[in-house]
Structure 1
Amino acid sequence: MAAVKLLTVVLVNFFFTCVSSLYFHMGDTERKCFMEKIPDETMLMGNYRTRLFDGQRDEYLPVSQNITLSVQVKDPNDKLVLSRSHGSEGSFRVRSKEPGGYQICLQANCSQHPLPAAVLLAVHLDLRAAQRTNNHAEIAAREKLTDMQLRVRQLVEHVLQIQQEQNYQKLRERDFREVTQNTNMWIYWWPVARSLYVVFIIIWHTKSW
């Protein structure tokens, strides 16, 4: 029983690779964007709810039914993969085709009933990235698999998911190396450029005398 519980915890931690909650304010027609890095074949799910916040009175107000929040998601190649509009509450989901950073943008639209100057939208956004999971009980019943065959199927899927995660980690390591190299080059060349600038100033002043 303890081994089963431990395995369950490990699988949950593996399947749900990223869970993050955000809280922010935004004005009418304002656009907020966030970047979420996920592996390929991963479901990116988002849930949000909004409230009105009066900055002058420092209190929350009832939400108008005319508030519209537009959601757009772009893949690492800046290709639009999702665009839709919801009310004051909603959810969205996108399955990643390739690893990398996915941009999630939200924009409020209260044009029918514009918000007063001191009133902002308070947005709660929950993002969750989960690896694909299969209903193994349904698969076993449909394909008439034995317990041994089902365990082998689960192990194969687990290995594939680990490979995807490793490929994603390699991609992140490559990006980190590029950032590190660029930073090191800047650290190396900045003193040289500064020294050349000082020498140029000295020569220019010397000639002006």
Structure 2
Amino acid sequence: MKSQLIGFLMNFLISFSLALYFHSGEREEKCIIEDVPTDTLVIGNYKVQRWDIHKQEFLESAPGLGMFVTVTTPSAEVLLSKLYGPQGTFSFTSHLSGEHIICLQSNSTRFVAFGGSKLRIHLDIRVGEHFLDESVVQAKDKVNEVNIRLEHLIEQVHHISKEQNYEREREEKFRKTSEETNSNILWWAIVQTLILVSIGIWQIKSLRDFFISKKLV
């Protein structure tokens, strides 16, 4: 019963995952932005498919193709820059919280000919994911298995707590920015009102002086 409860909770307390695919040309760079808290593990899995002009479909593999992966931090520091194969996994740990730019660029050899230079890239980004080694879990007895899964569950809870704290920080920053903007708008409205009142008083005085000089009043 306890193992079932842990398994049930594990299905819900999972980290954020982003799975997508997009099309790209040969040597064309495509980037996505991932907002990541500090000290968080990010794992990316990708697979490249090549368009076959004769079959008019994407092939399951793209032999001879390389994929250059670059990760840039919010401070413009290059955190990862490495060449992988047509299918692979990359990972990095964030040192700063904020928007990390993940870029992928195909790096084909001159011996590989692409029909129309069209590629389909499948990308799965997992933030804060810590995988369980099932072989280790199965080798242990039931008590140790429960302990291992509990430790993994605690790690996931810590990650969720970290995500929540990061969202609170972002919300607080956004609130301060909104308050500053509203304050600036209020002061600008007051300044505009004072300027308009001053111009009105000056116009009335000018007209009064004009009428007096012309002896109209």
Q: TM class, shorter-chain normalised?
A: 0.5 to 0.7
**Could you give the per-residue CA deviations for residues 109-143 of structure 1, whole angstroms, max 9, x where no partner exists?**
224236446231111111111255899xx9xxxxx
Number of the residue aligned with 1:95: 93
Does residue 165 (structure 1) correspond to residue 150 (structure 2)? The answer is: no
Deviation at 1:100, TM superposition (A): 2.0
Match of 1:35 among 33, 37, 62: 33
TM-score scaled by length of structure 1: 0.64
Cα distance in structure 1, aligned partners of 2:112 and 2:174: 44
Deviation at 1:156, TM superposition (A): 8.2
Structure 1: gaps of 5 or more residues: 139-146, 193-209
Deviation at 1:182, TM superposition (A): 9.5
Number of the residue aligned with 1:13: 12
Deviation at 1:32, TM superposition (A): 0.3
- Does the 8 A contact of 1:55 with 1:120 survive in 2? no
Number of the residue aligned with 1:130: 128
Q: For 1:113, what is the secondary structure of its paired residue?
A: coil
- Does the 8 A contact of 1:37 with 1:99 survive in 2? yes
- Does the 8 A contact of 2:65 with 2:112 survive in 1? no
Number of the residue aligned with 2:64: 66
TM-score scaled by length of structure 2: 0.62
Please give the root-mean-square deviation of Cα atoms over the aligned residues, in Å.
Answer: 4.1
Structure (1 or 2) with the larger CA radius of gyration: 2
One-letter code aligned to 1:10: L
Cα distance in structure 1, aligned partners of 2:130 and 2:158: 11
Within a 5 Å distance, the mapping from 1:1-209 to structure 2 comes to 1=1, 4-14=3-13, 16-54=14-52, 58-61=56-59, 63-113=61-111, 115-116=113-114, 118-131=116-129, 160-161=158-159, 163-174=161-172, 176-177=174-175
Cα distance in structure 2, aligned partners of 1:9 and 1:63: 36
One-letter code aligned to 1:23: Y
Q: Assess, with a 3 A threshold, how the Cα gap between structure 1 residues 7 and 76 changes in structure 2: closer, same or farther.
A: farther
Q: For 2:7, what is the secondary structure of its paired residue?
A: helix
Q: How many residues align?
A: 176
Number of the residue aligned with 2:215: none
**Could you give the per-residue CA deviations for residues 54-82 of structure 1, whole angstroms, max 9, x where no partner exists?**
46863124744321110011222221111
Percent identity, aligned pairs only, is 31
Number of the residue aligned with 1:207: none
Cα distance in structure 2, aligned partners of 1:29 and 1:182: 44
